[in-house]
Amino acid sequence: MYQHLNVTEATDWRAAVQLADARFGGVDILVNNAAVYLGKAFEDAKLEEWQNMCAVNLGGVVLGIQAALPSLRRRAQTRPQGSAVINMSSVAGIVGSATDPLYSMTKGGITTFTKALAVDFGQRGYRIRVNSVHPGAVDTAMGRQTFASRARFLGVQDDDIGRRQAIAAHPIGRIGTVEDIARAIVYLASDDAGFVTGSSLVVDGGFTAR
């Protein structure tokens, strides 16, 4: 089912969770996937752009977990391995991004927030596993934004040069696909990951291995 959801609005989150409760009996899995990418040098970013990025990339995660937590806790009692929260971070949440330092700040925040919640929920006996996924460059609309940013960083106007540089930065020899990332999410959401919480699953074709 489709439910309109602006992740920066608590009322939208409550409506989405209420729909899940009414139609499907509750929330077993929450994937916080919404994000924006600015692609500007630190000194070029406007305050309102930074505030919007924080509202989506960080605030959306907080509001989503707050809204879904009662349902996740209740459903966790009926599931063999409990409920699951998967927060989408990035390789930019592990290593610095010269093309968008502010994006790195938000994704780094998600990385440590995920670990903190995993410990907190575990100690409270909530049976909610909390993990993060860290994609490298992926062939999506946002991924293409990063190619353009790479090109500008190199002082050229050809986005294909940015794409080729991104490919070269991944030892596996290609950029990622949405299926690559989706499979990682499915694993963390499944009972196969029943002993996995507070982890950062890196799906980056070797980008951070250098």
Contact 203/136 with Cβ under 8 angstroms?
Answer: yes
103 is catalytic: yes
Contact 202/42 with Cβ under 8 angstroms?
Answer: no
Structure tokens at 36: 């924006």
Mind giving me the DSSP string for 157-194?
Answer: S-HHHHHHHHHHTSTTSS-B-HHHHHHHHHHHHSGGGT
Residue 125 CA to residue 203 CA, distance in Å, equals 29
CA 143 to chain centre: 14
Residue from 37, 103, 126, 187 carrying the catalytic annotation: 103
46 Cβ partners below 8 Å, 6+ apart?
none
User: Does an H or E element contain 87, and which?
Assistant: strand 83-88
Residues with a known catalytic role? 103
